[in-house]
Amino acid sequence: MIISVASGKGGTGKTLVATSLALSLKERDNVQLLDCDVEEPNDHVFMKPTITRSEAVSIPVPSVDEEKCTHCGKCGEVCAYNAIAVTKQKVLIFPELCHGCGACSYLCPEKAISEAANEIGVIEIGYADGVDFGHGKLDIGQAMAPPIIRQVKEHASHEGTVIIDISPGTSCPVVEAIKGSDFCLLVTEPTPFGLNDLVLAVETVRQLDIPCGIVLNRAGVGDEKTEEYCREGNLPILLTIPLDTEIASFYSRGIPLVEGLPQWKSSFLELFDKIKEIVNERSSDTER
């Protein structure tokens, strides 16, 4: 089963939930934690994994053989991302705009374009305290997170439980990371910002047709409207974590909640049981 942990708004507690869920569950099941927030991955700060393997992520970008090139302009014409500009003397390539679709090299009538790897980030795979671990890191100055997310997800285990930590927001990196999950946990806080972004996140997972449930973090901080929204929209609140200075203190020091306060383990196991129930119900519904 793949469970993704997303939020819309940043800083609501995705990393806290993903790491504590993984660490609680490891006693019961094979668990893999994949951090797909490749712009700002944080799970490793808490899990302190031993990295056993790392691999570069690259996009195939065009490289032009000037001897064969007739400057016909076809490559510039077919590139949807303005990554190629053809002048009378030269073909200019902007690798940071290239999505690596391969159209230019395939369609070049002179077969003058080959592809060269342009590195945009790295994947690191390892283990931490009984949990299989993986994450991706986008290189500084690079724009495109989705290819790295795709490559992290290629390492997803086919057995046990895979927990995916997602970046904030609702755009392409979030969709790329959530896609294919059996369930999406949405972590929010009871403030107007938390609610506004939760609504967007719920729309996103519904569009992807993935069942979701809510973790309400920092309960007690703002107002009642987030809970009202969940009630009215039939969104189950599966776990509530109060606003608490002790919890915040462990978090600030990079200590997972269930390590600092082990009594929380049972709450995370209950959370997992509720998720499993929803996923099982849904799959028996679709079978019928």
Q: Using CB under 8 A as the criterion, which residues of the chain lie in contact with other proteins when the complex forms?
A: 7-12, 15, 37, 39-40, 42, 45, 78, 80-81, 99-103, 106-107, 138, 140-145, 167-175, 179, 191-193, 196-197, 200, 203-204, 207-208, 221-223, 245, 248-249, 251-254
- The least distance separating other proteins from the CB of residue 262, rounded to whole angstroms, comes to 20
- The least distance separating other proteins from the CB of residue 276, rounded to whole angstroms, comes to 26
Q: Give the closest residue to 31 by CA, choosing from 278, 272, 284, 259.
A: 272
List, in order, residues 6 or more apart from 151 with CB less than 8 Å away: 55, 57, 123, 136
Nearer to other proteins, 12 or 161 (CB): 12
- The least distance separating other proteins from the CB of residue 53, rounded to whole angstroms, comes to 22
Nearer to other proteins, 173 or 213 (CB): 173
List, in order, residues 6 or more apart from 89 with CB less than 8 Å away: 71
Using alpha carbons, list the distances in angstroms from residue 155 to 34, 41, 136, 230: 9, 17, 11, 34
- The least distance separating other proteins from the CB of residue 40, rounded to whole angstroms, comes to 4
Nearer to other proteins, 45 or 51 (CB): 45
Q: Give the closest residue to 173 by CA, choosing from 163, 182, 165, 185.
A: 165
Nearer to other proteins, 150 or 274 (CB): 150
- The least distance separating other proteins from the CB of residue 41, rounded to whole angstroms, comes to 8
Nearer to other proteins, 15 or 32 (CB): 15
DSSP state for residue 157 in the 8-state scheme: -
- Report how far residue 253's alpha carbon sits from residue 146's, in angstroms, rounded to the nearest whole number: 30
Q: Give the closest residue to 213 by CA, choosing from 236, 194, 246, 230.
A: 236
Q: Give the closest residue to 37 by CA, choosing from 98, 130, 121.
A: 121
Diameter of the chain measured on Cα atoms? 70
- The least distance separating other proteins from the CB of residue 259, rounded to whole angstroms, comes to 14
> How many Cβ atoms are within 10 Å of 30's Cβ, its own excluded?
14
Nearer to other proteins, 29 or 246 (CB): 246
CA geometry: angle at 35 spanning 205 and 6, to 5°?
Answer: 25
- Report how far residue 186's alpha carbon sits from residue 135's, in angstroms, rounded to the nearest whole number: 20
Quote the tokens at residue 273: 């049981």
> How many Cβ atoms are within 10 Å of 127's Cβ, its own excluded?
16
- The least distance separating other proteins from the CB of residue 191, rounded to whole angstroms, comes to 6
- Report how far residue 108's alpha carbon sits from residue 75's, in angstroms, rounded to the nearest whole number: 6
Nearer to other proteins, 66 or 246 (CB): 246
- The least distance separating other proteins from the CB of residue 37, rounded to whole angstroms, comes to 8
Nearer to other proteins, 49 or 168 (CB): 168
